Amino acid sequence: MCLNDLIGQESGIVVYDNERVIVCNWSSYDDDCFPVVMSGLPFPIGLPLAGFGVDECVETFTVKDIRKELPQEFWILCDINGDIGALFEDDASRTEGRVYIFPENTKVIAPIGWI
C-alpha cells in the first residue's frame, strides 16, 4: 500500500518526531514509502522507513484546523511551494484535514482541498 492509496490524495504534510516537517507530493512513491530529504536533492524522494509501513497507520481522525496538528516549533525540511507559510498568513482561514498517525512519532496531515 502507498500513501496515495491510504489517504486518497497526492500531497500533504509529513511530521517526523514532532519537529521535522516535509510538504510534498507523494503520488510517484512506491508501496510503503514515505518522503525523505536527501542531501543535494531539491525535493524529497520516497523511501521505506525502518520499522513500519504505510499499512501500519494506528489512528486517523478529522480536524477543523490542521495548524493545530503541527508542532509549536518545527523545522521545515522541504516546502517547495511555501504551503506552510500560507497556512499561517494573517488572512489565512482555517484548513480542515485528515490526520494519520503512524509508529515512531510519524504523522501525515492531508489538508482537504489539496490534490
55-72 tens-digit pLDDT:
999 999 999 999 999 999
Total count of domains within the chain: 1
> Strand, coil or helix: what is 6?
helix
pTM comes to: 0.94
At 90 the pLDDT is: 73
Element holding 86 (H helix, E strand): helix 83-87
Where in the sequence is the domain holding 54, given as residue range(s)? 3-111
Q: What is the pLDDT of residues 36-59, one digit of tens each?
A: 999 888 899 999 998 899 999 999
Q: What separation in angstroms does the CA of 88 have from each of 70, 85, 102, 105? A: 11, 5, 25, 23
46-63 in b/e form (b: 16+ CB < 10 A) is beebeebbbeebeeeeeb
**DSSP of 47-84:** EEPTT--GGG--EEEEES-GGGGS-SS-EEEEETT-HH
Q: Are 46 and 26 in contact (CB under 8 A)?
A: yes
